[in-house]
């Protein structure tokens, strides 16, 4: 049963794809072979791409976008007329002119919201973590913010990401063939008030019997024990347990 349901509204937008354990082939070979924690983090969720190539420029105060051979100040920018006609043909009469903007300059200089061209909803009890792509390339010209949305209740959600432009007075290119952000399902019961139940225990003589010393040997590498020198012990253990 699918937790996520995607509604593709912008026809030319790349397909949303399942994240994979190799970070789309960018993960170092040693990490892919031995680091199961990194592999699982990379594969958890879905990759979302820009709906089309995006060219931005930030002068420190105002954001500009490139379209039809020239630069325009960006406030709230919708998709092209063809899409708006498509939207109007689908939407009820009272929503014909209420298509979500493609690009929106937010209230903080250099912050931009990018809509993927998709809508999203989740099953009851599930929220959506919207975040940078896990273990993928880190681009210095912009950074992505994270958000956790209760998409079982607040839906259909226009699936977007907020970014911060870090470079000024030069073109910032965001290609549609490279994932822009990652979405991950999160059980609502796993966050919120349950996090207040964490406990901190001081490691001292008064509590020496509480710390699981024998289990500690399973989580560290002993330089004097050849068996523990083998990389990937955690990966082997986890993979065996899931067979």
Q: What confidence score (pLDDT) does residue 142 get?
A: 96
Q: What confidence score (pLDDT) does residue 211 get?
A: 83
Domain annotation covers residue 112: yes
Domain annotation covers residue 120: yes
Structure tokens at 56: 């931005």
User: H helices within 156-219, ranges in order?
Assistant: 213-216
Domain annotation covers residue 113: yes
Indicate the range of 38-42, 129-133, 218-222 predicted with least confidence.
218-222
Distances (CA, A) of 181 to 9, 27, 33, 128, 239: 18, 17, 24, 12, 27
Identify which has the larger pLDDT, 232 or 125: 125
Q: Which domain holds residue 9?
A: 4-195
What are φ and ψ of residue 39, in 5° steps? -65, -45
What is the C-alpha to C-alpha distance for residues 61 and 48, in angstroms, rounded to an integer?
A: 28
pLDDT digits (tens, 9 = 90+) for 47-73: 999 999 999 999 999 999 999 899 999
Domain annotation covers residue 42: yes
Q: Closest Cα to residue 144, out of 173, 180, 106? A: 180
Structure tokens at 228: 């523990």
pLDDT digits (tens, 9 = 90+) for 70-120: 999 998 999 999 999 999 999 999 999 999 999 999 999 999 999 999 999
CATH of the domain at 188: 2.70.40.10
Q: What is the mean pLDDT of residues 161-184?
A: 96
What is the domain count for the chain? 1
Q: What is the mean pLDDT of residues 183-193?
A: 88
Indicate the range of 40-44, 99-103, 151-155, 208-212 predicted with least confidence.
208-212
pLDDT digits (tens, 9 = 90+) for 194-234: 666 777 788 887 776 788 877 777 777 666 655 555 555 55
Domain annotation covers residue 230: no
Domain annotation covers residue 181: yes
Domain annotation covers residue 242: no
Domain annotation covers residue 25: yes
Sheet holding 126-131, edge to edge: 17-18, 46-48, 181-187, 126-131, 147-149
What is the C-alpha to C-alpha distance for residues 210 and 159, in angstroms, rounded to an integer?
A: 46
What is the C-alpha to C-alpha distance for residues 56 and 220, in angstroms, rounded to an integer?
A: 46
């Amino acid at each position: 049963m699918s937790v996520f349901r995607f509604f593709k509204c912008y026809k030319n937008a790349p397909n949303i794809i399942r994240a994979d354990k190799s970070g789309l082939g960018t993960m170092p070979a040693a990490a892919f072979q031995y680091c199961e924690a990194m592999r699982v983090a990379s594969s958890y969720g879905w990759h979302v791409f820009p709906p089309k190539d995006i060219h931005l420029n930030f002068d420190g105060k105002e954001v500009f976008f490139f379209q039809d051979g020239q630069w325009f100040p960006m406030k709230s920018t919708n998709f092209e007329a063809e899409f708006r006609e498509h939207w109007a043909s689908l939407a009820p009469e009272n929503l014909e002119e209420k298509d979500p903007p493609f690009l929106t300059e937010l209230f903080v200089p250099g912050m931009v919201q990018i809509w993927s061209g998709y809508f999203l909803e989740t099953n009851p009890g599930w929220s959506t973590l919207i975040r940078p792509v896990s273990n993928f390339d880190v681009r210095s010209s912009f950074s992505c913010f994270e958000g956790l949305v209760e998409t079982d209740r607040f839906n259909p959600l226009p699936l977007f990401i907020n970014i911060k432009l870090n470079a000024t007075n030069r073109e910032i290119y965001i290609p549609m063939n490279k994932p822009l952000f990652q979405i991950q399902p999160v059980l609502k019961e796993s966050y919120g008030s349950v996090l207040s139940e964490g406990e901190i225990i001081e490691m001292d003589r008064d509590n020496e019997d509480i710390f699981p010393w024998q289990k500690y040997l399973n989580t560290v590498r002993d330089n004097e024990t050849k068996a523990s020198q083998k990389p990937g012990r955690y990966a082997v253990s986890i993979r065996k347990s899931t067979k």
